[in-house]
Amino acid sequence: MTEAPSKILYVDVDSLRPDHLGCYGYERTTTPVIDELARSGMRFTNYYATDAPCLPSRTALFSSRFGIHTGTINHGGLTADARPLGDHRNFRNLDGWTSWMGALRQEGYYTASLSPFVQRHQAWTVAAGFNEIQDAVGTDQRVGLWQPNADEILPYVDDWLDRHATRDSWFLHVNFWDPHTPYATPPEFGDPFADEPAPEWLTQEIIDEQRTHAGPHSARDTFHFSNRSPRFDEGNDLARVPIKFDIDSRDTFKTWVDGYDTGVRYMDYHLGLLLDRLKEEGVYDETLIILSADHGEGLGELNVYGDHHLADETTCNVPLIISGPGIESGVNDDFHYQIDLAPTVMELVGGESGSRWDGNSFASACTADGNDRDDGREYLVLSQGAWACQRGVRWDDWLLLRTYHDGLKTILEDVMLFDLETDPHETTNLANERPEIVEKGLSKLGQWHDERMLEAARDQRGGNPRTPNGTTDPMWADIANGGPYHTRGHLDSYVKHLRETGRKERAAALEHRHG
């Protein structure tokens, strides 16, 4: 193993999907800075959040534990906070359960986070192990304090680097939010994709079918349960999508995608300024740079626009680029979980991982002395609890979705199967045509579930029988408590809206299922 990096920069971009980055094959020039970073480092194509969206994802990432073990799979209610460790907890809570940041601190790194995330979600578990957390909030009340633009994040970064850039060892977490709705890139940045066509996969035929369906953030209800944004008043000049808007054509789809891609491009530009600052300080070459995301973003797939509702490819597949000292350049196509990053970084710095982590290191995939080893997983299981209660199984070219609560989305069926090689945007459910593949996927899901529950019962890895409900799958608790947080209590008002907008059949279907 090469000498450990003395400095680590983790760039955490909210709602960033890899297939809208140039280095992942996107035709639009959204990410020239990230593309250059990818050329110098290792790019991972099958890297997935175990638990989506934001709060479950970062809880899993920083604790290196599955949501089925931490209990955090939702944005509210009993499954939003991590379970206490019970009598496993000691004075400093370091008995194998240490966070990723805590493990780095034990190796001598000064750890800091510049992000509004902890306060935004009251995510105190994510704060564990940091020496310093700055609540890097925005200033424009029309967007919201919790969602700063990249230009509002950089002053926090500059101030931090003024004080710490040349110290011996540090880890810095920088959180950008620009690809997240409402796509509020400052107007003066212009419209870089105005003359470029939108992705071709979403046809008018698909749009017309989606408009017959119900669901939050769907083609006709793009802003939660209606087509009017609750964030802005008339005359705002920030949102790239009008405050009253739905997807009824390829042209309106282009408006939506242009807003997302402009946010990506704006973030990328400011990432370039951040990296330039490291070069000015003379520390760029000694910094391990990691770029990833908490989750992706639905841009029409399965009738979800501008949010992250499912346990599918568009929500859970996230970019991962690692570049810096000792890192080989190349592409890795093996399956890895986001929770595998913590033990990977600890191996790269020559440190010790938490003995109760669920993650497995794939450090050898990044380095010249070990890149012939296969550290990937045979298959992955992905979970969603905030907008639906759903698990996905990802293996070979297949994605199987098992839905337990549809989050008021009528397009979802109990079991769905997609061939991502030929259908990356999940347009054709093959479950009825390929029952033998469905059987394989459900078998893998059952195997994964049994293994996680056995770990909990046996007090192994991230499982913990000494905590309340520690041997209970939080997905069942989520459903018993009313289902996904963001759709609880909305059934009556939403079915009324559906009838008023000519979708009485969908209203009846939701009442039959959930009433």
Instruction: Please state the domain count of the chain.
Output: 1
Which of 458, 467, 399, 380 lies closest to 50, judged by CA? 380
**DSSP character string of 319-361:** -EEEESTTPPPEEEEEEEEGGGHHHHHHHHTT-PPPTT-----
Structure tokens at 394: 């990802």
C-beta separation of 401 from 390 below 8 A: yes
What CATH number is associated with residue 387? 3.40.720.10
Instruction: List per-residue pLDDT tens for the chain, 515 residues long.
Output: 467 899 999 999 999 999 999 999 999 999 999 999 999 999 999 999 999 999 999 999 999 999 999 999 999 999 999 999 998 988 877 778 999 999 999 999 999 999 999 999 999 999 999 999 999 998 766 666 678 999 999 999 999 999 999 999 999 999 999 999 989 899 999 999 999 999 999 999 999 999 999 999 999 999 999 998 877 666 566 678 888 899 999 999 999 999 999 999 999 999 999 999 999 999 999 999 999 999 999 999 999 999 999 999 999 999 999 999 999 999 999 999 999 999 999 999 999 999 999 999 999 999 865 445 568 999 999 999 999 999 999 999 999 999 999 999 999 999 999 999 999 999 999 999 999 999 999 999 999 999 999 999 999 999 999 999 999 999 999 999 999 999 999 999 999 999 999 999 999 999 999 97
Position 5 in a domain: no
Position 3 in a domain: no
Structure tokens at 358: 């669920």
Going by the DSSP 8-state scheme, the letter that residue 197 receives in this structure is P
Long-range contacts of 492-499 (CB under 8 A, 24+ apart): 493/225, 494/214, 494/225, 494/408, 497/221, 497/225, 497/226, 498/214
**Element at 403 (helix H, strand E):** strand 398-405
Domain of residue 82, residue span = 10-504
Which of 414, 346, 465, 62 lies closest to 72, judged by CA? 62
CA 229 to chain CA centroid, Å, is: 23
**Element at 44 (helix H, strand E):** strand 42-48
C-beta separation of 375 from 391 below 8 A: no
pLDDT of residue 139: 78
Per DSSP, the three-state class of 405 is strand
Distance (Å, whole) CA 325 – CA 307: 35
Position 464 in a domain: yes
Structure tokens at 360: 């497995």
| pLDDT tens for each residue of 112-138 | 999 999 999 999 999 999 999 999 998
**Element at 132 (helix H, strand E):** strand 132-134
Place of tokens 């400011």: 270
Position 509 in a domain: no
Structure tokens at 141: 């009340």
**How many CB atoms are located within 10 Å of the residue 324 CB?**
21
Which of 70, 176, 53 lies closest to 128, judged by CA? 70
**DSSP character string of 471-486:** TS-HHHHHHHTTSSGG
C-beta separation of 173 from 114 below 8 A: yes
Can you give the length of the chain in residues? 515
| pLDDT tens for each residue of 40-86 | 999 999 999 999 999 999 999 999 999 999 999 999 999 999 999 99
Which of 310, 510, 329 lies closest to 408, judged by CA? 510
Structure tokens at 330: 């190349």
C-beta separation of 313 from 69 below 8 A: no
Let me know the angle formed at the C-alpha of 437 by 436 and 443, rounded to the nearest 5 degrees: 90
**How many CB atoms are located within 10 Å of the residue 333 CB?**
10
According to DSSP, the β-strands at 132-134 and 110-114 are: parallel
Going by the DSSP 8-state scheme, the letter that residue 244 receives in this structure is B
Structure tokens at 184: 């509020």
Going by the DSSP 8-state scheme, the letter that residue 317 receives in this structure is B
360 by Cβ neighbours in 10 Å (0-12 / 13-18 / 19+) ranks as middle
Per DSSP, the three-state class of 402 is strand
**DSSP character string of 163-189:** HHTTSSSEEEEEEE-TTSTT----GGG
Position 514 in a domain: no
Model pTM? 0.96
